[in-house]
Amino acid sequence: MSESLPSRKIDLAQLDAEALKQWIKSQALDLGFADCVVAKPDAQAEMARFQEYLDRGYHADMDYLKENLEKRADPTLLVPGTKSIICVRMNYLVETPKPRYVPYEPNSAIIARYARGRDYHKIMRGRLKTLASRIRDKVGNFESRPFADSAPIFEKSLAESAGMGWTGKHTLLIHKKSGSFFVLGELFTSLDLPFDEPATAHCGSCSACIDICPTQAIVEPYMLDARKCIAYLTIEYKGIIPQELRHGIGNRVFGCDDCQLICPWNSFAKKATIEDFNPRNGLDNISLLELWQWDEETFLKNTEGSPLRRTGYQSFKRNIAIGLGNAPYTTEIVTQLEQARTKHDEIVNHHIDWAIEQQISKS
């Protein structure tokens, strides 16, 4: 009997920790998160692939990605005392999208679906703080810190290591029953919780996301060249967009969903349960010319609390100018472009001139 007693105590302790983990997951779902897993604070396995990504220059001018590599690999260096990381996700689709091969109205402005409503970073952090408060009410004081794409963290790697899905060939996380239209968040905690097991990958031989990319930014499975990626070019990049990529950008003025829209697993994509993701100011159905009419004051007013603020007014107009250049010829587009030249900086004017040339060549 004396020899079996210690193992029984360990089993009881594990049961208590497992029960707490399941309770935390139930609270997360109650707060509107679509899923919740617990990850080990260790992302060393991601370092080799990430270093190769950096060595190839695929991070473009996002030099901050080269910083704090030790903290990315070891989250306990970012938040000392971290013993477990609660990973959550939120679905952001408001309506089931049409497959990408269904032609879009060429005069419409396409904005990535996650960016049509309220900035998810604020939604995510707020609810993670509420989750931490609920846990504190149950277990007493503990250390915690919420994140939502706001620190040097391998978000996808941590979530993947705990079974939230697998990294697809487009480099986004895919869940077998929910697709990939979701955003991620983390709650670093000092709680000693049991970790969840990783999921298996199910991309197989499919290359749909690679084949559909308008600018061929997915240079090989699981490797994305940001220098060609429409999401990077229209959101993060502030300079002159290479001319050879402008036709591929088409009428996408903020981000791109093509690699997700073509993914077979997104036939299982779930809709958002949180109203904050609902489109604002008609951003799910707005024309290029209507957006072109926005002056800076209107832009700031209509993008308050929106991810669109990230690109800035001038870069936003640059993106719209490219869309207008790619649109079918109309005299109105040419007129609107010509009248705007005195209102923008040199970079925007460069793209306006290109757009006018494109329009005239189609007249």
Positions marked active-site: 149
Under 8 Å CB-to-CB from 102, ≥6 apart: which residues?
Answer: none
Running DSSP on this structure, what letter comes out for residue 97?
A: P
The C-alpha atoms of residue 359 and residue 352 are separated, in whole angstroms, by: 10
Instruction: Please tell me whether 173 is known to bind a ligand.
Output: yes
Query: Quick one: angle between helices 313-326 and 331-339, nearest 10?
Result: 150
Bridge partners of 110? 252
Residue 258 in tokens: 């093509």
- In the block, which residue shows the tokens 């952001």? 92
The C-alpha atoms of residue 83 and residue 239 are separated, in whole angstroms, by: 42
End-to-end CA distance of the chain: give it in Å, rounded. 92
Instruction: Please tell me whether 203 is known to bind a ligand.
Output: yes
Instruction: Please tell me whether 36 is known to bind a ligand.
Output: no
Q: How many CB atoms lie within 10 A of CB 211?
A: 11
Instruction: Please tell me whether 156 is known to bind a ligand.
Output: no
Burial class for 5, CB neighbours closer than 10 Å (0-12, 13-18, 19+):
exposed
The C-alpha atoms of residue 127 and residue 33 are separated, in whole angstroms, by: 9
Instruction: Please tell me whether 87 is known to bind a ligand.
Output: no
Give the residue among 85, 82, 79, 47 at the shortest CA–CA distance from 65.
47
Secondary structure in 3-state letters for 220-257: ECCEECCCCCHHHHHHHCCCCCCHHHHHHHCCEEECCC
Instruction: Please tell me whether 284 is known to bind a ligand.
Output: no
Under 8 Å CB-to-CB from 283, ≥6 apart: which residues?
Answer: 111, 115, 116, 308
Residue 319 in tokens: 């993106």
The C-alpha atoms of residue 271 and residue 233 are separated, in whole angstroms, by: 27
Instruction: Please tell me whether 227 is known to bind a ligand.
Output: no
Distances (CA, A) of 269 to 175, 264, 299: 9, 10, 31
Binding residue positions for tRNA: 238
Instruction: Show binding-site residues.
Output: 72, 149, 167, 173, 184, 203, 206, 209, 213, 229, 238, 256-257, 259, 263
Q: Which residues are annotated as a binding site for cob(II)alamin?
A: 72, 149, 167, 173, 184, 256-257
